[in-house]
Chains A and B, each alone.
Chain A
Amino acid sequence: MIVGEQLTIEVRQDDDRIVLTLHGELDLLGAPRLRGEIESHAVDAADIVVLDLDDVQFIDSAGLRVVLAAHERTVERGQRLALTPGSPQVQRLLSIAGVSGHLQTIASADAALV
């Protein structure tokens, strides 16, 4: 297993919106870290959850799985989830996975949701 750049997550609360800014690689090693954040009380309490993927260098299927789990969880709890577009690799993966239509993408972490 290649240990890529370790994932770090910054959490920023802005009224009813919580922004999780990810740095590094969202892979098999980083995925549990993101899962932990997403299941936190702070995230549960927000109306809008934003995953800022702009500084994510790499995402694999394990990372995608957590993003999709976050999507499911927010749908169930009546929250809204949005992602920033991320790197070409992230965009390509989301496109291949055929999930772009299910996930709302916003231009930047602070942009309004449609």
Chain B
Amino acid sequence: MVAIYRDALPQVYGYLLLRCGSVAVAEDLTAETFLAAVAATERAEPPDVNVAWLVGVARHKLVDHWRRIGREQRTLAAVESADDRVDDPWDEHMDVAAVHAALADLPVPQRIALSMRYLDGLPVAAVAERLGRSLHATETLLVRARSALRRAYREGDDRDV
């Protein structure tokens, strides 16, 4: 663990900081990731701890973090989840930074699905596996999430004007 720490630390921290945008949160989740790796190496059949494995753990830690936040904001999420309208035309010149910012306004399951699918570039099947949902349910979730993201992005535009 100590041997790969210097190489892996900027990779794990970079992954988390780009996605949560907060130094404090990124540091907490980075520490949780490496301490989980230390515990894993003590298992009877330890995993091969490398950068890819650590980033996978970091992704779990980030998802857990969003779910924790989500529980604190459950009322808001419930209201937004009720809105199932599909509305998905994207501008040719979308403001990527603003779309990233809009992700934080989504209900947590939608935010998690979109982050894995688009920020991390995982195939839908891999997103489904990590969420423990069927492929069909994940596709449905992604369609609703895209639509919700589109609305959040537009509302963000309105606020800026």
Chains A and B form a bound pair: no
Q: Name B's A-contacting residues (CB within 8 A).
A: none
